[in-house]
Structure 1
Amino acid sequence: MLQLEDKEATREALTNAMDSYSWIHLACHGFQHPAQPLESGFALADGRLELATIIKSNLKHAEFAFLSACETSTGDADLSEESVHLAAAMLVTGYRGVVGTMWSIADQYAPQVAEDFYRELFARSPEIDGSKMLDGEQAAYALHHAVQQLRKRVGSAIHLWVPYVHFGL
């Protein structure tokens, strides 16, 4: 596991990590530009990692991406069947599964959603030679569990739990 924080979270460090690791979890600001979707991206210490750069990546190990950032699966409302957004870019680059958000998410709840997601995912994943092997095919179930936990905490405030979505396997 590699953790990039603050000044370490640069565009180069992240693209190198994406090339080396099969799972990635991004907890940062996301920017969606419907008029110029290839300029959408993630805010990092040295600037924005744009969708155009992500799409050009040739990721050999990509399996799953959790995008804990605002608007990572927001596309152009006029082209809903042709959405170009950050979650779609991750699928294009080879990730088999992606968790994204349809609009802004609450900073105070996002870490808990991620924690509940990974706790459930670990519980559902097989143990091989004494180690848990994360199973990306269980991600949709884990996200459902995490969203249900958030829903129990926030009740009828649907704008807090509805944004989380899963794409792929």
Structure 2
Amino acid sequence: MRDEPLTLLDIMENDTPHAEFASLSACHTAVGDEETPDEVIHLAAGLQFSGFKSVIGTLWVVDDAVVKHVVEAFYENMFTAWALNRATNAVKAKVPLEQRMVFIHIGV
């Protein structure tokens, strides 16, 4: 890869069975090429096809300052189960237990 561009095919052919998470904060990382017949193939999808269980990408241009704030907030609550736990505990005083128990997290 040193002397050539990294292609989507290169990424998709790379077997990464233990890859858990990738975050792509550059612009348009979850958008396919207009000239590609199947526009669902993009960098974020390529990473998932190569084995990443979870991928975050961007759909359009995003400001660097916005990326910084979103990434910081995301990593504070990266593990979704913890994020859900914190959210349901935050409303404990206003929401009865049976309504807080309704929520469930499934997946990675």
**The TM-score by the shorter chain falls in which range?**
0.5 to 0.7
Point out where structure 2 has 5 or more consecutive residues left out of the alignment. 88-106
User: Structure 1 pair 102/58, CA: closer, same or farther in 2 (3 Å)?
Assistant: same
The correspondence for 1:114, drawn from 71, 76, 79, is 71
Question: Based on CA coordinates, which of the two structures has the bigger radius of gyration?
Answer: 2
Deviation of 1:50 (Å): 2.2
User: Structure 1 pair 92/104, CA: closer, same or farther in 2 (3 Å)?
Assistant: same
Q: Distance in 2 between matches of 1:49 and 1:78?
A: 19
Alignment of 1:62-77 (within 5 A): 62-76=19-33
Q: Quick one: percent identity of the two aligned structures? A: 38
Letter in 1 for 2:22: A
Partner of 1:83: helix, strand, or coil?
Answer: coil
Q: Highest relative contact order (Cα 8 Å, sep 6+), 1 or 2? A: 2
CA displacement 1:71-116 (0-9 Å, x = unmatched): 0111256879751100110110011111100011101211111010
- TM-score, normalised by the number of residues in structure 1: 0.42
- TM-score, normalised by the number of residues in structure 2: 0.62
C-alpha RMSD of matched pairs (Å): 3.3
Partner of 2:24: helix, strand, or coil?
Answer: strand
What is aligned with 2:7? 50
Letter in 2 for 1:72: T
* Structure with higher helix content: 1
What is aligned with 1:103? 60
Q: Distance in 1 between matches of 2:6 and 2:81?
A: 32
* Structure with higher strand content: 1
CA displacement 1:25-51 (0-9 Å, x = unmatched): xxxxxxxxxxxxxxxxxxxxx874321
Matched, 1:90 2:47: yes
